[in-house]
């Protein structure tokens, strides 16, 4: 095995993190387990994956790549709230974390945990559901999106309450 190439600072140069189809479920559950470990250490309840929030995250990851910029607005002007509503999520959006990187999901999570606004989304005590997705370009660049939601327990059938 060849040692990693070193940069001018003597540290290993970053390597492109390639995601293959066989690793997709592993990555999703690795992120879920890691988020729940962080939440547990903070005394917060665990979250579970939501297919609807996963869909909203996947749509936004691909759209950020199309726009070639990491930001919270879709190319159609949509906000994170708009995207979770479009996929039929009836809970409340807690927050959305995004990243443009060549790093793994766990390196991305570590970076989110270093900043108060993104850390607060991950550790929010009201969150009970999580969506997580990515889009990897042929260059290896990865657009990550994590969405946290709180199920709407106040709405009654037929009330029309969206919880947002």
User: Per-residue pLDDT for 134 more than 50?
Assistant: yes
Q: Give residue limits of the domains in the chain.
A: 23-33+45-150
* Mean pLDDT, residues 17-42 taken together: 90
Whether the model clears a pTM of 0.85, i.e. scores above it, the answer is no
Ranking 8-12, 28-32, 34-38, 100-104 by mean pLDDT, the lowest is 8-12
Please give the full DSSP string across 13-39, using - where no structure is assigned: PP------GGGHHHHHHHHHHHHHHHH
Rounded Cα gap, residues 109 and 102, in angstroms: 13
CATH architecture of the region 23-33+45-150: 3-Layer(aba) Sandwich (3.40)
User: 83, 60 in Cβ contact below 8 A?
Assistant: yes
Which is higher by pLDDT, 3 or 43? 43
User: 12, 5 in Cβ contact below 8 A?
Assistant: yes
């Amino acid at each position: 095995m060849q040692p990693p190439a070193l940069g001018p600072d003597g540290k290993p140069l970053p390597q492109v993190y390639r995601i293959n189809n066989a690793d997709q479920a592993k990555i999703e559950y690795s992120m879920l387990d890691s988020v729940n470990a962080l939440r547990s250490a903070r005394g917060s309840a665990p979250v579970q994956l939501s297919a609807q929030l996963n869909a909203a995250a996947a749509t936004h990851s691909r759209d950020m790549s199309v726009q070639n910029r990491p930001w919270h607005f879709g190319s159609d002007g949509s906000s994170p709230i708009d995207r979770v509503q479009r996929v039929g999520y009836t809970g409340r959006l807690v927050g959305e974390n995004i990243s443009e990187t060549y790093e793994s999901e766990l390196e991305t999570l570590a970076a989110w945990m270093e900043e108060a606004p993104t850390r607060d989304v991950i550790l929010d005590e009201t969150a009970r559901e999580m969506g997580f997705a990515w889009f990897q370009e042929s260059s290896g660049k990865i657009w990550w999106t994590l969405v946290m939601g709180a199920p709407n327990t106040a709405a009654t059938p037929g009330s029309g309450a969206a919880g947002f």
